[in-house]
Amino acid sequence: MGVGSSTGSRPSRSGRAITAAGLAAVLAVSLSACVQSQRQGDGGDTFVFGAAGAPALFDPFYASDGETFRVTRQMMEGLVGFAPGTAEIEPELATDWESSEDGTRWTFHLREGVEFHDGTPFDAEAVCANFERWYHQTGPGQNAALSYYWIETFGGFASDERPSLYSSCEAPEAGTVVLELTRPTSKFPDALGLDPFSIQSPTAMEKYGADEVRARGSSFEYSEYARKHPTGTGPFEFASHDESNQSVVLERNEDYWGRKAGVDRLVFQVIPDESVRKQELLSGGIDGYDYPNPADLASLREQGFDVRVRDPFNILYMGISQRDNPALRDLRVRQALAHAVDRRNLVEANLPAGAEVAELFYPDSVDGHVPDTTKYPHDPERARELLREAGHPNLEIEFWWPTQVTRPYMPDPRGIFNAIAGDLREAGIRVKPVSKPWNGGYISDVNQGRAQVFLLGWTGDYNSPDNFIGTFFGSTNNQFYTEPAPWGGELADRLEAADREPDPKSRERMYADINRDLKSEYLPAVPLAHSPPAIVTSPDVEGLVPSPLTAERFSTVRVEN
Amino acid sequence: MLRYTVRRLGQLVIVTLVLSLLLFAWLRALPGGPVSALLGERATERSRAELVEQLGLNQPLYVQYWRFLGRAVTGDFGVSTGVQPGTPALEVFLQRMPATIELSVLALTIAVLVGIPLGYVAGRRQGGWLDNLSITWSLLGVAVPVFFLAFLLKYVFAIELGLLPASGRQEAGTNATHATGFYVLDGLLTREWDAAWNALLHLLLPAAALSTIPFAVIFRITRASVLDVLEEDYVRTARAKGLGAAVIRTRHVLRNAMLPVVTTVGLQTGALLSGAVLTEQVFNIAGIGQALSLGFQRQDYAVLQVVIMATAMVYVLVNLVVDLAYAVIDPRLRTR
């Protein structure tokens, strides 16, 4: 600290001020000389989308969250894709395909003249390089926190004791890929349209160490490829990710093989708070955002915004775990729960417009959906009767619901809980409420079967019964904990058999049978409702096709200025 | 002076260590955690167990803490799971720090530039209309919750009138070069004037909202302090000596009145962060305030640890600077 003398040749006040100003000016000039503007060509149309969360990374193989896929989907493509506005697959990087009689050998004919963003040609070798990369994951790469969709779809890895669906990939010629599977599956070829199975440039992945992911502290650190150099074949290519401004910028791929993108630039601006997203749309800062609060839809429409409601492709259910409460192992008790709930009222009072009462565990656009299943109309009297018959007239249950969360299938967990708890009490059931933060114990406890009765749901990844009921009841010690039930193992086996059935006709019949028994004999949970999530854009935006899978591609979007 | 500074820095080390231990234990006592955050609703028992094993979360807490310390010494505070998944927590903090500093500095500048002169004038003309008006204004500043004021400002100026941007740090797709992370400064340094201007416009509303409480406090302390000093003997003596009014005001009144004000400004710098949590939320500014609230929502241990510890260090350092600044203003302290 300057203790300097206060007498003598002290410069005058104004003198010091001038010196200081001079120094500052010199500093500013010298600094601006060494910081170069890195601006590139400006201008052109920009579509700005308000995202709810930051993308974790840009390598879809390691991702399982919607905010990441929303971005990678614009840059990358799979062998098959989903037709706009539907959950049906259509040719994408493969123009057509056929499978052997037994469903284990799949031949894909590839689109010609396609290049990755880095100029690497897209061919059969590139496709096989991707499959081999997925199958040969090691260490952290085998963890479900990273390769969830591979494990869910293909099972194990090369160096792993779990059986894998994948056997080999061959490239007999540049335009043909032959995939060998270890068994037939209902997931093929639809699952290849999932974002994690997008085909990425082998050259770029090698150059930027795509597989270099490592555990660090309490999480994973991703590779340079995943953070800065994602390279696909899609209509947009990666430009920048500005973490300090929480925005991701993509630019039009001028060499795209198909119809080129309608805007020059696509920007994702991360805005975690839902109400802030809405205000930003109102003030013109963004052109659109996802999952508007159902309560805002009417006023947004009135103000001239385009609110597009997607076809529902999800399920909200009242789950039942047979682990801790023995009464719940009795079918009659579970039937009583089903009769007790007034689902029509729930849909009308607590879910957004367009929601439907669910009879099965997936929407009717998916194969094997049958109308003639056992119904459980709202009937508190019948519920009491069933409980008496079962010897549990004073049934007491723990009813779990999550806080600090909204999901597309569950926009208001508290409201839904209150409605159902009221219904159950009306049927004479004693309800002990248990609430936990979604990420603070709810999910982990529910997944261990600790929640006796609980609220949860699922959004479908693609059009397959297996993606819904196979995930739910294919295991006996998950959230539903069907282990003590005499039919728990049987149901899991039947689901696996249906998944393995190569003939689509008989497979559909098998799923239809399972669906009937799920409602009559098993009733491991009570399906409640399908809710349609909405997406909203400003009136200047044209060409956005809402997808039931919430998998919109923004290349068709144009912005009128 | 040097010894004093060193001792204070020693205290900083102890504060940081104790805080890190408390934080570590407390965060891990919360339900949920990184495993739930990483796996989400699709977790299975098997994947959960594997992940716990891989991340070493099955080790006793003291082992985990020891490892954490070992890594922290090398600057490795783990990787974010919820705020900016996959990015090292320290990087998340460093990326977000400039936004908060920019906001706080502007807010504090507004508070000081308005608060001190107004407080001085109000103190000298006690009971005048300006005094009454300023007191009412400052009372409102303290009484109205920051987030409400922030929302009100945003609603009126951004959404209804459309004069200023509603949220963010810069218009999406401004195509600006970011060399330092301080957007206004970046724009000036690279001569991208429109980018600097755009960033400044984005700062105005949040800074105005954030400045209300420090303004009110600084104004009131200045006013009270001026009132006190005006009564002092040395002011009367100065007047009796026949010193000019301007000299008395600057040398005697203002300088002496500034002592408590400087302390207040220092304390307010720390308090700004708590205001920034809410302001950044309302205006979607990717600063450390937003990182804190997102970190809690999404159970991001790594980011919470870094942000809270770094904030505490900033607080201690700012107060050290304030104490040292005392010496400059008050010559009596220099000889010690």
pLDDT, one tens digit per residue, over A233-245 is 999 999 998 888 8
- Mean pLDDT (whole number) for A403-407: 81
A279 Cβ under 8 Å from any chain B Cβ: yes
Q: Does a cis peptide bond (omega within 30 degrees of 0) precede residue A60?
A: no
Output phi, psi for A141, to 5 deg: -60, -20
A451 Cβ under 8 Å from any chain B Cβ: no
What confidence tens digit (pLDDT) does each residue in A363-397 have? 998 999 999 999 999 999 999 999 999 999 999 99
Whole-number pLDDT of residue A3: 38
- Mean pLDDT (whole number) for A296-325: 93
- Mean pLDDT (whole number) for A273-291: 90
Are both B265 and B318 inside the same structural domain?
yes
Using DSSP, how many helices (H) and how many strands (E) does chain B show? 14, 0
What confidence tens digit (pLDDT) does each residue in A18-69 have? 566 666 655 555 555 456 666 655 557 899 999 888 887 899 999 888 889 9
Whole-number pLDDT of residue A10: 46
Are both B138 and B6 inside the same structural domain?
no
Domain limits at B103? 89-334
For A19, the 3-state DSSP assignment is helix
What confidence tens digit (pLDDT) does each residue in A440-489 have? 778 878 888 899 999 999 989 888 999 999 999 998 888 999 999 999 99
Which residue in the set B31, B95, B294 is minimally distant from A244, CB to CB?
Answer: B95
DSSP string, A155-198: B--TTSSS-BSEEEEEEEETTEEEEEESS--TTTTGGGGSGGG-
Three-class secondary structure assignment of B12-23: HHHHHHHHHHHH
Contact residues on chain B for A287, CB-CB shorter than 8 A: none
Residue A4 has pLDDT above 80, yes or no: no
Question: Which tokens belong to A254?
Answer: 């001028």
Are both B204 and B301 inside the same structural domain?
yes
Does residue B299 form part of some domain?
Answer: yes
CA-based nearest distance A528→chain B, Å: 18
Does residue B202 form part of some domain?
Answer: yes
A28 Cβ under 8 Å from any chain B Cβ: yes
Contact yes or no for B167 and A271 at CB 8 A: yes
Are both B63 and B187 inside the same structural domain?
no
pLDDT category at A214 given cuts 50, 70, 90 is confident
Does residue B178 form part of some domain?
Answer: yes
A319/A523 Cα distance (integer angstroms) = 10
Tell me which of B73, B104, B125 is where a domain ends.
B73
CATH number at residue B169: 1.10.3720.10
Does residue B219 form part of some domain?
Answer: yes
Specify the number of domains making up chain B: 2
Contact residues on chain B for A217, CB-CB shorter than 8 A: 55, 68, 71, 76-79, 89, 302
Are both B67 and B102 inside the same structural domain?
no
B211 Cβ under 8 Å from any chain A Cβ: no
Contact yes or no for B190 and A148 at CB 8 A: no
Q: By percentage, how much of chain A surpasses pLDDT 90?
A: 68
A227/A215 Cα distance (integer angstroms) = 16
Contact yes or no for A285 and B42 at CB 8 A: no
CA dihedral of residues B118, B121, B126, B127 (deg, nearest 10):
-60
What's chain B's length in residues?
Answer: 336
Contact yes or no for B162 and A32 at CB 8 A: no
Are both B242 and B296 inside the same structural domain?
yes
| Chain A, chain B: beta-carbon pairs less than 8 Å apart | 227
Whole-number pLDDT of residue A506: 94
A35 Cβ under 8 Å from any chain B Cβ: yes
Contacts of B39 (CB under 8 A, 6+ apart): A144, A145, A148, A443, B47, B48, B51
Are both B69 and B93 inside the same structural domain?
no
Contact yes or no for A279 and B158 at CB 8 A: yes
A5 Cβ under 8 Å from any chain B Cβ: no
A93/A506 Cα distance (integer angstroms) = 29
Whole-number pLDDT of residue A18: 58
B201/B161 Cα distance (integer angstroms) = 14
Contact residues on chain A for B201, CB-CB shorter than 8 A: none
What confidence tens digit (pLDDT) does each residue in A142-169 have? 888 888 899 989 999 998 888 999 999 9
Give B 288-307 residues with CB within 8 A of chain A: 290, 294, 297-299, 301-302
Burial class from Cβ neighbours inside 10 Å (0-12, 13-18, 19+) for residue A86 reads middle
DSSP string, B135-203: HHHHHHHHHS-HHHHHHHHIIIIIIIS--S--SSSS-TT-----SSS-HHHHHHHTT-HHHHHHHHHHH
Give B 165-184 residues with CB within 8 A of chain A: 165-173, 175-179, 181, 183
What confidence tens digit (pLDDT) does each residue in A494-505 have? 999 999 998 989
Closest by Cα among B82, B48, B38 to A449: B48
Estimate the share of chain B in helix, then strand, then coil, as percent rounded to the nearest 5. Answer: 75, 0, 20
Does residue B166 form part of some domain?
Answer: yes
Contact residues on chain A for B77, CB-CB shorter than 8 A: 217
- Mean per-residue pLDDT over chain A, rounded: 89
Are both B57 and B161 inside the same structural domain?
no
Does residue B319 form part of some domain?
Answer: yes
Residue A5 has pLDDT above 50, yes or no: no
Whole-number pLDDT of residue A273: 83
Whole-number pLDDT of residue B82: 81
Are both B164 and B305 inside the same structural domain?
yes
Contacts of A320 (CB under 8 A, 6+ apart): A328, A334, A337, A452, A453, A480, A524, A525, A526
**pTM of the predicted structure, to 2 decimals:** 0.83
B283/A101 Cα distance (integer angstroms) = 59
Q: Give strand ranges (E) for A404-506.
A: 430-437, 453-459
Are both B32 and B111 inside the same structural domain?
no
A299 Cβ under 8 Å from any chain B Cβ: no
- Could you tell me if the ipTM is greater than 0.85? no
Contact residues on chain B for A244, CB-CB shorter than 8 A: 95-96, 98-99, 169, 178, 181, 286
Whole-number pLDDT of residue A9: 43
Give B 143-162 residues with CB within 8 A of chain A: 154-155, 158-159, 162
Whole-number pLDDT of residue B59: 85
What confidence tens digit (pLDDT) does each residue in A126-145 have? 999 999 999 999 988 888 88
Closest by Cα among A223, A166, A230 to A203: A230
Which residue in the set A32, A144, A269 is minimally distant from B191, CB to CB?
Answer: A32
B35 Cβ under 8 Å from any chain A Cβ: yes
Contact yes or no for B99 and A244 at CB 8 A: yes
Are both B155 and B279 inside the same structural domain?
yes
What confidence tens digit (pLDDT) does each residue in A182-204 have? 999 998 899 999 999 999 999 99
Contact yes or no for B42 and A219 at CB 8 A: no
Give the Cβ contact number of residue A33 at 10 Å. 9
Nearest CA in chain B to A275: B282
Residue A212: its H or E element: none
Estimate the share of chain A in helix, then strand, then coil, as percent rounded to the nearest 5. Answer: 35, 20, 45
Give the Cβ contact number of residue A128 at 10 Å. 18
Contact residues on chain A for B78, CB-CB shorter than 8 A: 216-219
Burial class from Cβ neighbours inside 10 Å (0-12, 13-18, 19+) for residue B160 reads exposed
Does residue B82 form part of some domain?
Answer: no
Q: Are B207 and B154 in contact (CB under 8 A)?
A: no
Contact residues on chain B for A27, CB-CB shorter than 8 A: none
Radius of gyration of chain A (CA): 28
Are both B253 and B180 inside the same structural domain?
yes
Does residue B127 form part of some domain?
Answer: yes
Give B 46-105 residues with CB within 8 A of chain A: 46-48, 50-51, 54-55, 57, 68, 71, 76-81, 83-89, 91-92, 95-96, 98-99
Strand partners, A180: A105, A168
Residue stretches of chain B with pLDDT short of 70: 1, 32, 40-42, 173, 333-336
Give B 250-289 residues with CB within 8 A of chain A: 281-284, 286
